[in-house]
Chain A
Amino acid sequence: MGRPYAASADGTRVNGETKIGAAVHDFFHTFFDWSEIAGALPSLLGEGLRNTLLIAVLAIIFGLVCGMLLAVLLLSRRRLVRLPARIYVDVFRGLPAIVTVSLIGLGLPAAGIRPFGRSPLGYAVVAVGLISAAYCAEIFRAGIQAVPAGQMQAGRSLGMSYLKTMRLVIVPQGVRNVLPALTGQFIVDVKESSLVYLLGLSVGQRELYFIAQERQAASYNASALVAAGLCYLVITIPLTYFVNWLDRRMREGRPARAGAEEPLPEPALAEG
């Protein structure tokens, strides 16, 4: 006790390179053992990646659709419309994801509510999607509120209803405002898909983390976890670049900008 580092420092000095060499070897063996990784890869890439993507993509879609509806409710002028949406957002943003996933994935089936039968994947999609919806709602709300008020006035002055103006004018511009912010949420959804491990998965249902964690428990070697981590990065990093690309494209619109610099023509009406 007291000087936990001193002993090893002394030991290192005494035994010299062999001790360092052993530690480095242990480290690499634990995290980067090639045979472990090679053994894990087939099920990670075959089964795991597919199920992770399945949960994440469905949860993201669920979150986007429900989040947009919630955002419109949050922006309502009527308190009674705003209030339930507000409560929903506060609750689902405030709960730890692990609690929400357990409540839905373990609680609902226990209560006899089994819309997805015995497959945990459906419950995971709903749980991660519900959480995502709460965050997406706040992101969309901020984006929509950043659209200048004049856009709504212009839409209404042309005879479009409030909802029509929202749908055709405000929301499309609001979404453009928040694409980069949504990327962060998509990444969170991908990562939270791993919480499905709580629900217990049988072969065929396993996602990246579950497979890696099973192998780690069996071999006491973390290399499969490293491989799973790399698989997550293979999803999340390109996702960021894809959304950034989408963002740029939307901002610039179609490439017809050449005429912007053309001299102004005389207004035809002036001649009449």
Chain B
Amino acid sequence: MPTTPPPARPAPPGSAISVRDLRKSYGRNEVLRGVTFDVAPSEVLCVLGPSGSGKSTMLKCLNLLETPTAGSVVVGGVTLTDPGVDIDAARTRIGMVFQHFNLFGHLSALDNVTLALRHVKKVSKAEAEEIGHSQLKRLGLGHVARHRPANLSGGQQQRVAIARSLAMRPEVMLFDEATSALDPELVKEVLAVMRELAGSGMTMVVVTHEIGFAREAADRVIFMDEGLIAEDGDARELLDHPPGTRFREFLAQVL
């Protein structure tokens, strides 16, 4: 059982993400109680933990979809928790993939991918569609570019959502249980995309219950419990020789 947060050590130079003593409360409920970690460029970090341990809240603090109560978040050298920061500009460099895809329901797959390109990056329509098509093709979705999300399978929808994020050329990708809402037979196609992305050198923070994915694709694993990081270490080592009892219990449950 963790009792104290790790002491705030200085961030290693050149970290892609650097989180210091991150805290988040909803009213009196302190959901994050001092979370500190770093992610190196091209590192793939898997975040494990029981339901309610604060994984989603932590991930949303990394692009400030949730405003931390205290602590600092630095992504790509920009301190997001600084008051004057241009958060919209910072978010274009941080892709996020959601459990329920959150595709824009009124737009085709292609328009989902090009919307932010056109309206945030101010790319011309023709150029945005070129980027969109190549991004969709890359994820095996070339033939569904004109389809609405409602007419796509869950796996296709999640891949469109990944394409939508990648089209912005982010430096970092955040995944919040990207496969939890999918039928088992569709999980594979999304994990394949994520594995490939990990191999391509993308910096990734992946909240997941897929221990297999963590073992194969992750460099590092952190285990969250009750708003704190209980374990933090090399993925294989940690998963093959789980140190704490809570972590062992957790692994026994999800495996």
Interface of A toward B, CB cutoff 8 Å: 148, 150-151, 153-161, 164, 168-169, 172-173, 176, 250, 253-254, 256-257, 259-260, 262, 264-270, 272
Contact = CB atoms under 8 A, between A and B. Distances in A.
Nearest to A157: B96
B164 interface: yes
Contact of B147 (A173, A259, A270): A259
A160 B106 contact: no
B236 interface: no
A168 B103 CA distance: 13
Given A160-B120, A260-B147, A268 B115 contact: no
B96 A265 contact: no
Q: Which 6 A-B pairs have the closest CB atoms?
A: A159-B92, A270-B192, A158-B116, A154-B102, A269-B196, A150-B102
B8 interface: no
B104 interface: yes
A265 B193 contact: no
B10 to A, nearest CB: 29
A264 B138 contact: no
Given A157-B96, A159-B91, A169-B106, 15 more contacts: A151-B104, A154-B102, A158-B115, A160-B88, A160-B120, A259-B144, A262-B143, A264-B156, A267-B140, A267-B189, A267-B196, A268-B138, A270-B189, A270-B195, A272-B200
Interface string B178-197: 00000000100100110111
Contact of B115 (A168, A176, A257, A270): A168
B85 interface: no
Contacts of A157: 63, 65, 91, 94-96, 165
Contacts of B200: 272
B126 interface: no
B92 A158 contact: yes
Contacts of B120: 158-160, 164
A60 B169 CA distance: 44
Contacts of B116: 155, 158-160
B139 A269 contact: yes
B65 A150 contact: no
Contacts, number: 118
B155 interface: yes
A64 to B, nearest CB: 18
Given A158-B115, A159-B91, A160-B116, A265 B65 contact: no
Nearest to A167: B119
A69 to B, nearest CB: 20
Chain A facing B: main interface SS: helix
A154 B196 contact: no
Interface footprint category on B: 35 or more
B137 interface: yes
Nearest to B105: A173
B91 A269 contact: no
B106 A172 contact: yes
Contacts of B144: 259
Contacts of A269: 138-140, 192-193, 196-197
A173 B193 CA distance: 29
Nearest to B120: A159
B151 A161 contact: no
A269 B159 CA distance: 11
B151 A260 contact: yes
Contacts of B153: 264
A225 to B, nearest CB: 44
A61 B181 CA distance: 42
Nearest to A173: B106
A256 B147 contact: yes
A174 B147 CA distance: 20
Contact of B140 (A164, A253, A256, A265): A265
B143 A154 contact: no
Which of A155, A157, A169, A266 has its CB near the most chain B CB atoms (within 10 A)? Answer: A157
Contact of B165 (A158, A257, A272): A158
B235 to A, nearest CB: 21
Given A158-B92, A158-B165, A259-B143, A264 B155 contact: yes
A151 B119 CA distance: 16
Which of A158, A270, A272 has its CB near the most chain B CB atoms (within 10 A)? Answer: A158
7 contacts: A158-B165, A159-B92, A168-B119, A257-B151, A264-B186, A267-B159, A270-B192
A151 B199 CA distance: 29
B147 to A, nearest CB: 6
Given A157-B91, A159-B168, A161-B88, A151 B102 contact: yes
